[in-house]
Amino acid sequence: MKVWKFAAIASMLLSSLLSILVCRDMLNGSRKYSPVPSSPASRASSSSSSPPAAPRRSPRALDRPGSLLSQYGALLESYTEGELRRLLGALVERRRGAKAGGRAKRARARHKPCALQQLEVSVSELGLGYESDETVLFRYCSGTCDGALRSYDLSLRSMRSSRRIRKEKVRARPCCRPLAYDDDVSFLDTYNRYYTVNELSAKECGCV
């Protein structure tokens, strides 16, 4: 692990501790310097004897830097070098584990096996030029075929990498495609015309 990573994590940790101490010190100061309400009799006597005094302002938190700096310094001194190293190591390992978990989830999402999926859509959403509000169950094939590489795919990939095949648009890996199609789908459009569409939904999927 590089030194700058330890420095960045230590800076983040210390800044968060400093913000907590600042908030706590400001709260303690506001409680300590809050004005005490006086009784009506005392206010009447003071108003008759002397002119009204200006309202007393509570001191700002910045006017008391000693307490905050002393608390912050004591907090830093309470940790030994070994404890700081262990704490930073735990933070680094947790961050590394979170990144590894995210990469594993994305890898699993990208490498789902080829399988049959289904979706309920309207006929107009099929994109075949029909206008109809009827819904159909559209089955499709989705997934990857990395484990179904054949000698043809490997040789084609080698030819592409060596630029022996450059101009043609070829695919050097199997594709998840339907192996068989479901029954024909019939429906009425918005003008009450009857249509039948064949080979619309997949019945079986495989790597082709």
DSSP assigned state of 37:
P
CB distance 198 to 136 below 8 Å: no
Tokens 């199609």 sit at which residue?
181
The pLDDT value recorded for residue 174 is 86
* Nearest residue to 112 via CA among 141, 153, 149, 139: 141
Alpha-carbon distance of 148 to 170, in angstroms, equals: 17
CA angle 204, 205, 206 (to 5 degrees): 130
Burial of 18 (0-12, 13-18, 19+ CB in 10 A): middle
The pLDDT profile of the chain, 208 residues, written as one tens digit per residue, is: 455 555 566 666 666 666 666 656 655 555 554 454 555 444 544 444 555 554 554 444 444 545 656 666 666 667 677 777 787 788 788 877 766 666 655 555 567 899 999 999 999 999 999 999 999 999 999 999 877 788 888 898 888 888 888 777 787 788 999 999 999 999 999 999 999 999 999 999 999 8
Pairing of strands 202-207, 115-122: unpaired
pLDDT at 171: 78
In the chain, DSSP assigns E strands to: 115-122, 135-142, 176-181, 185-188, 194-197, 202-207
The answer to whether 118 and 187 have CB atoms below 8 angstroms apart is: no
pTM of the model: 0.45
Domain 115-145+173-207 CATH assignment equals 2.30.30.790:
no
Spatial contact of 9 and 91, defined as CB atoms under 8 Å apart = yes
Enclosing H/E stretch for 58: none
- At 182 the pLDDT is 94
- Give me 103's structure tokens: 């990469």
